[in-house]
Amino acid sequence: MINSPSIWGALSDAGRNGVFHLVSATAPTNAVTGKGVAGKGCLCTALDTGLLYVNTGTIDSPVWAASARDIGDTANIWAARFQTDQAVPLSDNQPTVTLSSGIRIFGNGLADNDSGMTVAITPEGSIGTLVTSANAGETIAAGVGTTGTLPYKPAINGPISIQAVVQMVTDHLNRKFFIGFLGNPIDAILAPETFSAGNFTLNQSNLAGLVTDTGVGTTRDLYALSNKVNATPVISALSALTPAAFPVTNPSVWTKLKVVVDVDGTATFYVDDVLVKTIPNALDPNVPVAPVLLLGNTLNGAVRMMNVKQFICLGN
């Protein structure tokens, strides 16, 4: 027999916490759909596709992710599977390696005999560790697509997103970091920005992403950058600064980072499911881009390492 009071109690709990089921004409928009109403765990069905989304953010800043039920139905999903047979040996001297998952490991230092990706099975899960070469200026990256095969066009596939759960190994010194979308992910990719005299100079003409850079004066602050068809190749660090940073304690703390570009080219940036920056017109929605997660070395003498527990790229 159904206990009616318990049902009303459950509904009351859901109502107090904003956990219920919304509907939307299209895919819900981060930080907009359900703002002030939809609590963490709230569901939303997109009526045009029938896909179900869940709010992993907060009631004040919803972050909508495709549910596990529907994630296989999206037209453009790529995810790394960090299995022992998916490692990239440090000494294999290959300029690029495509894993069976379709994720590509590349970078201008990958062909050196001290750069690659190791895999470890741990109590926290299966972890991939990206390892740069010990030479300054060398990079290692994970992503999808090449310059000639860019998988996402925001106007068609949007909202597009790249999400990773990462952990810097040992410290944050002497390194660069990028997560986001690029228009030119060549095999020998360089860090997409350089920093000097208070400004970032963007080395790619089409990008949107979160970065850290030792040269800024702190290695932990996260900056949100965009360059719409080379409209803003130089950006001040002050204007790009977000209120978020990598945690001091390492390697015990993981950081979840996400960059989303909507159908109109607006980019939103999240750290641990909290919205930290919005850039309208960050990208031309009709220009294709590719998702990239990158680690760079800025000082000779030692490799730089970053653990990756999750790496997912989504598009409609």
Per-residue pLDDT reduced to its tens digit, 202-241 = 999 999 999 999 888 777 899 999 999 999 999 999 999 9
Domain-terminating residue out of 73, 93, 128:
73
Q: What would you measure as the largest C-alpha separation in the chain, in angstroms? A: 72
Asked if 157 and 288 sit in the same domain, the reply is yes
Cα angle vertex 285, ends 282, 289, to 5°? 85
What domain count does the chain have? Answer: 2
Give pLDDT tens digits along the chain (316 positions). Answer: 445 556 666 677 777 788 888 998 888 888 889 998 898 889 888 887 777 888 888 888 888 877 644 554 555 788 888 877 778 888 888 889 998 888 999 999 898 999 999 999 888 888 999 999 999 999 999 999 887 889 999 999 989 999 999 999 987 889 999 999 999 999 999 999 999 989 999 999 999 999 999 888 777 899 999 999 999 999 999 999 999 998 877 667 899 999 999 999 999 999 999 999 999 999 999 999 999 999 999 999 999 999 999 999 988 8
Residue 4's pLDDT is: 52
Range of the domain at 61: 4-73
pTM for this one? 0.84
Q: Is the dihedral of CA 238, 130, 146, 155 positive or negative?
A: negative
b/e per residue 235-252 (b: at least 16 CB within 10 A): bebeebbbebbbeeeeee
pLDDT value at residue 76:
78
Domain boundary residue, one of 73, 96, 125: 73
If asked whether residues 303 and 278 sit together in one domain, one would say: yes
Q: What is the CA 47 to chain-centroid distance, rounded?
A: 26
Predicted confidence at residue 142, as pLDDT, reads: 96
